Amino acid sequence: MARRGRGAGVARRACAGATRECDSVERARPLARAMCSAEWSESESPSPERAERSQRSVVGVMCHAVVLGVLFSLPSYLYSAVPFRKARRKEREGEPAGDPKLYLQEALLERKLPELDMRQLVDLPLGLDYNEWLASHTLALFDHVNLLYGTVSEFCTATSCPDMTGPGGRTYAWYDERGKKSRVAAPQYVDYVMTFTQKTVNDETVFPTKYANEFPAQFEGVVRRVVRLLFHVVAHMYAAHFRQLALLRLHAHLHLTFAHLTALDRRFALLDHKETEVLRDLEVALRLSEPAAGEAADEASPRRREPVVTQPLATA
């Protein structure tokens, strides 16, 4: 009986590189051991070293098959999220590589609760305090943006994101409490945003939670700054990390958070137009706002002026 099958030998030689990368896959070892035992005749007893090499080779074959399965299951527009090659010099230096805006792809424009009219969600209910309403939406946006960024934070490093960027080459600088401007890497900028926001919402004198405590006179200004900073984080996720979010199937949640932020801004004019113009094309694509003059009239308001009532979640 032959000690090795011809096919197994070819597979070992072809997947030697994958074997080295998958040496730490302990869960595959029991199956690899069972597969390797079939390669030796009952009368032969391989040395422990040779048996270990055989097991590691089979693990490599298995890992290689898993990687191929994942790659073949990816949509074509997400293939560039997998590093098949090294980045060109211009790409490493931060210059755009001519990649189209992935978040405008038709297949990735869905969002959770797609038929929900966000204007109704943010409209101030009769009899409710204006500041209380702003506070509740600000807290919700903070939680959602913080949660979404946390899913891709490991991809956002000082090396991959040396600047806090948004779509269209927009770069955001950080201003401290004294108004000093500084250029920081994206993860540091986001950390500043989350730290400042957390400190602000926990301040009882700014976001009162106890009975009879009133909101400060400058509360709307505080909300404007918080919302503007959260918008910068959202813009950065669209510009630099949308591929990872799409691979994690979280892009619809990002779209919903963006729709919430946009609707709140449209209702209460919290952001300057210069801030929001970087994602203006996404607003139109998601039908959150009217196309500008000169854009196709058939993409205008009728569909968003007649929202369909969302089905209850219990029936989904």
pLDDT in tens, 207-265: 998 888 899 999 999 999 999 999 999 999 999 999 999 899 999 899 999 999 999 99
Specify the pTM.
0.63
- Using DSSP bridges, classify how beta strands 174-175 and 181-182 pair: parallel, antiparallel or unpaired: antiparallel
63 annotated as a binding-site residue: no
137 annotated as a binding-site residue: no
241 annotated as a binding-site residue: yes
State phi, psi for 103 to the nearest 5 degrees: -70, -5
64 annotated as a binding-site residue: no
Q: Domains plus CATH for the chain?
A: 6-73 (no CATH), 100-315 (1.20.140.30)
What is the structure's pLDDT at 58? 47
What is the structure's pLDDT at 182? 92
What the block records as the tokens of 104 is: 């405008």
What is the structure's pLDDT at 73? 44
What is the structure's pLDDT at 23? 42
Which residues of the chain fall below pLDDT 50? 1-43, 58-98, 293-316
What is the structure's pLDDT at 121? 86
What is the structure's pLDDT at 54? 53
What is the structure's pLDDT at 100? 65
